[in-house]
Structure 1
Amino acid sequence: MYRIAINGYGRIGQAVLRALYESKDKWGMQVVAINSLSDIETLTYMTRYDTTHGRFPVCVEHRDSNLIVDGDVIRVSNTEDPADLDWQDLEIDLILECSGTFGDLAQAQRYLDAGAKRLLFSQPALPEVEATVVYGVNDEVLNNTQRIVSAASCTTNCIVPVLKALDQKWGVENGMTTTIHSAMNDQPIIDSSNARNLRLSRGGLQSIIPIDTSLARGIERMLPHLQGKFDCLHIRVPTQNVSVLDVSLNMKNDVSVEEVNDLFADLSRGTLSHILGYTEEPHASVDFNHSPLSCVVDGSQTKVNSKRMLKLFCWFDNEWGFANRMLDVSRHWLNL
């Protein structure tokens, strides 16, 4: 059983822990430490109850500075400075860095120095990381000598398998994407000043809010031959969870709706079944809440214009799907 620490216990950190306990074998991993700025009482409560994903499926309590989950003891610390962490005796195999507050190697190394062998970012981080992995697309780049790796982002994990499949089949000339993303915890319920981003000062329940995105850079990092050929928009909408990517592509060769849908239906039943889904049912976003897939292509929304302009709709649970990819990458990397 590999020993895991979680640094940052927000939406992704909590989803990772829950996904471990909802699996049959806990993915061969055991969380032994959590570092969070929340006190132990708050952390226990937020683990037990979740508005989006429901009650935690097993008993959760706390004793002293430990979180007790189904009888498993998890040491909890509350520090911003990794120099204050004392994990040396825990024999940690991997830190899942879920705070989203940094993405550089120097800070990551400080967490490793606190007592762990490897660190996996829950965000793209800086390009200097030893590898950026979209599971099911390029996990073969991992090796057992790497120490600091990124699992990219929820949107990158959604779009890259789709783009790679289309590019291999017909060739992608260029494209644009719009991420229609659920509200997040950096948005206030009602207006509250945010000098760094004025749009994020607006109430998240009342408006559709454009946000800057680095998805184009994520696509280029994973598919470098498409560098300079994508631009991306991102808007936040007043829903609790589940997002969708609206993808517009110019293809190098003629395509049809039927051919594109057949491709993704086949992949969802075959080589990409673990990460990719396909549907033609009349879904709403809530239907994909708690979906472990990186992407579900909605064939009912596939459109082709003038034979080479393709539009796709790709659903994804931006919390649960990505948490499961974090665990996929972790298990694969640890077992090399």
Structure 2
Amino acid sequence: LAYMLKHDSVHGRFHGDVAIEGNTLVVNGKKIRLTAVKDPAELKWNEVGADVVIESTGLFLTKETCEKHLAAGAKKVIMSAPSKDDTPMFVYGVNDKSYKGESIISNASCTTNCLAPIAKVLNDKWGIKRGLMTTVHAATATQKTVDGPSNKDWRGGRGILENIIPSSTGAAKAVGVVIPQLNKKLTGMAFRVPTSDVSVVDLTCELEKEATYDEICQAMKEASQGSMKGVLGYTDQKVVSTDFRGESCTSIFDAEAGMALDKSFVKVVAWYDNEWGYSTKVLEMVRTVAK
């Protein structure tokens, strides 16, 4: 764990002080208890005074299973993935103001955190009649470096180093949970590609009210400088994916990449560091629920 914290193939070396003292990880003088148990109910969060637990194993994605963290002494739990039940879902900067003290919430996915801000700007100003999303997504730990068996998804078992792999994603449908007005109006899919980090969303949609592409760009720019500052970014430069490594905004609108067929049928494009950006917004939700 200490080694992985010091050395990261994407984000580089961590230049702080990292050490292991028995069952304690020490980072820049701050001590972090290390445990290795399978049942969250045995984690004894009360012993370390944990107020908020980030459930990032990907294994406990229902209220029932996350309640074990509460039984162990935690006060709040945030899933760092979409829930598999009706656990309230939040995207910071989009619907975080509707948080009402729930003890267990989901922070949605990195892709939903990219899609929701641009969808909100479009829907608030012109209305979205319907839309399709595609994310061109960097490889993740679930994928194989060489071909191997995969019972759940045969294409997902193919080696990521040599392939562009079509995949499913619930990110677009999840926007309908975060923004109820868009429920059942969006769906989408993913292409997993052989890059290590940074992904990009393409939202192609039909608007209820007409707008020029220039007007859409202006609305995105205004939101990035106003109500969504720090969440939605804006660029009109000739950028590529690596330009966004370490970017804390979870959705960076690319004015140069989008287009409009006419005043009601548009394509908007937004970048996101699916590792770094998403993690920063998990921490923002931690601050929100801890108030």
**TM-score normalised per structure 1:** 0.84
Distance 1:134 1:311 in 2: 22
Residue number in structure 1 paired with 2:119 = 163
**Counterpart residue number, 2:147:** 191
Q: Any idea what the Cα deviations from partners look like across 1:173-224, whole Å, max 9, x if unmatched?
A: 1000101000011111111222222112111110000111112320111122
- How big is the shift at 1:102? 2.4
Q: For 2:41, which of 83, 86, 90 is the aligned residue?
A: 83
Counterparts of 1:115-134 in structure 2, within 5 Å, are: 115-129=73-87, 131-134=88-91
* Residue 264 in structure 1 maps to residue 228 in structure 2: no
Task: Report the identity percentage.
Answer: 34
3-state SS of the aligned residue for 2:59? coil
Aligned mates of 1:80, 1:133 — CA distance in 2: 27
**1:98 matched to which residue of 2?**
56
Distance 1:84 1:172 in 2: 46
- Counterpart CA distance in 1 for 2:37 and 2:251 is 35
**Structure 1, gaps ≥5 residues long:** 1-42
Q: Deviations over 1:277-315 (max 9, x none)?
A: 111111110000110001000000121112211001110
1:246 paired residue number: 202
> Are 2:14 and 1:56 equivalent residues in the alignment?
yes
- Larger mean CA deviation between 146-155 and 220-229 belongs to 220-229
Corresponding residue for residue 32 of structure 2: 74
Letter in 2 for 1:116: A
| Pairwise CA distance, 1:88 | 2.7
* Secondary structure of the corresponding residue to residue 301 of structure 1: coil
Cα distance in 1 for partners of 2:84, 2:257 equals 35
CA distance in 1, matches of 2:131, 2:36: 44
Partner SS for 1:128: coil
The partner residue of 1:148 within 104, 119, 123 is 104
Among 46, 49, 56, the residue aligned to 2:4: 46
Cα distance in 2 for partners of 1:120, 1:84 equals 18
- The two structures have a TM-score, normalised by structure 2, of 0.97
Q: Deviations over 1:117-158 (max 9, x none)?
A: 1101101213422x31111111122233x2101111111111
Aligned residue number for residue 13 of structure 1 = none
Counterpart of 1:321 (choices 260, 277, 283) is 277
Q: Is the 8 A contact 1:244 1:315 kept in 2?
A: yes
CA distance in 2 between counterparts of 1:93 and 1:83 reads 15
1:255 partner letter: A
Greater Cα shift, 75-84 or 306-315 = 75-84
Which amino acid counterpart does residue 95 of structure 1 have in structure 2? V
Alpha-carbon distance in structure 1 between the residues aligned to 2:45 and 2:127: 49
Unaligned runs of 5+ in 2: none
Query: Does the CA contact (< 8 Å) of 2:134 and 2:202 recur in 1?
Result: yes
Contact 1:261–1:302 (Cα < 8 Å) also in 2: no
Aligned residue in 2 for 1:330? 286
Q: Which residue of 2 is the match for residue 297 of structure 1?
A: 253
- Counterpart amino acid of 2:241? S
Kept in 1: contact 2:82–2:109 (CA 8 A): yes
Aligned to 1:209: 165
Q: Distance in 1 between matches of 2:199 and 2:172?
A: 17
